[in-house]
Structure 1
Amino acid sequence: MSKVDELFQRLRDDGRKALMPFITAGDPDFETTAAILNGVKAAGADLCEIGVPYSDPIADGPVIQESYQRALDHGFRLDGLFDLPSQVRGADAQLPLVTMASYSIIYRMGLRQYVQRAIDAGYAGAIVPDLLVEEAGPLSKVCSELGFSLVLLVTPTTSRDRQIRIAESSTGFLYFVSVTGITGERAALPETLGENVRWLKQRTDLPICIGFGISGPETAAQLAPVADGLIVGSAVVRRIAAAADRDDAVKRVSQFVGELRTAIDSAPVA
């Protein structure tokens, strides 16, 4: 059982929903990323998605694309990614971290080497947005052997038969993309989203976390009753980009995460 499995079991026992901010590794530097991780844990985040900067973004909107570029411009290297978890303060302050990485990055390093280095560094899993379920077997095998969660994505255009296959190939949780298109904050989400998530929840025991488009507490409160967790990316990254300095970035993001936590915990139970 991975740290992600253990977390969702505790959350289910407590009747709580997971809050997962997305933060780009090294935006604008690793010291800032570590400081923000410490801040969001204290503010109520349950786990955190760490974006691995990539020069050819897959489904990322302009806010996250720009954060990747800032990190690359400041000299991002993969070695820094693996050093990052050690900079989160103390065992009690540690929160499960999962990387969001293109399969090409993992493949180039070597599947087992990437997973083992991630585990040794303190990561609990990986979200791989461009890994097709037909090609997931080798990485899934490595992750299963080493107790590392492999998270795949379901989108609004994924057929229902395929959704089940993706769920069967995922571990830890399933990433349910709320909208067709790229990441970014949305003023409104599809009316069918709740119905689609409920359909899939009846066919898998995996926790389902909704991502893409969550802009703030109001959207979070709307989705919390149907999801096991919420992933918030662009709205977090935008606050980092707007900050005057490191302390300001920590303050802005921590305050926002606290508002999201309150909204999720206050939402009615489905």
Structure 2
Amino acid sequence: MRSLIKLQYMLAGVAAARECGVATYTAEQVIPSTAIMDGLSPPVVVGDASNLLSPPVLDLGGVWWIRYQPLDDSERGDLSWENPAVKLYAHGAFEELMTFADASSNSSTLPAEIGLAYNRMHHWAYTDTFNSYAGRIFNAADEVDTPIHMTFGNATHGMLRATSPDDQWLITKLDKDRWRRDTVFAADGPVGGARVSYILTRVVREDGSPHPTYFEAFTSYMGARQLRVHATDNVCLRRCGAWAPELTCQVPQLCDTWCELSGTWCA
């Protein structure tokens, strides 16, 4: 297993060196003031009053950790932490942070339909593992403004539009800083009604400050891993950048030319 992890990091490092339109950050730079002091734009846009269109009662500001590991025994409950698929997904550190900034909403009160702008630049954070690299390239096939559709009937319960009409994607508020996301697969499907869960956990508050408990837990979990985010909304760079020769990533004009030549990916 340790050799596999080393191989993943080696492959991810090679891939990262070749990519256009992707920025790399430390976990500490998720705090906007830290990133700015280091001369960088914050990796993930903080949801605040200037960009949150969702009903205020939902309190979706800040930056959220997509967490597949329990922090203590009180969180174990009926969640699927020991599900092999969940453990494999968590081990790969595929995706880590998200924001509700710039999500559309059809109402400022509940009930409301929300369109989560997850694929915009600096709205979703991945890591420098090979699994995360592969997943991010897969997501690059989606248009920048392709939303995740969410319906909230009240301030504590919502549903997401599932990729299969027979599955249920649920979101339930646990407390001010945690939402539980359950995916319940169809009973007659290939995984026989399995439930996969994670906890959305606020690590940066709406004012840009670190959460007093969860930010430290996040940085401890990340360890030496780094975050990687889309740093452009240029669809061509997203789809073609990962496959471009390294030189093209050092000269923007060459990167654009590479994308134009890669007609299959950029169509």
For Structure 1 versus Structure 2, the TM-score category normalised by the shorter chain is under 0.3
Considering only CA atoms, is the larger Rg found in Structure 1 or Structure 2? Answer: 2
Q: TM-score, normalised by structure 2?
A: 0.28
Q: TM-score, normalised by structure 1?
A: 0.28
Relative to total residues, which structure has the larger strand share, 1 or 2? 2
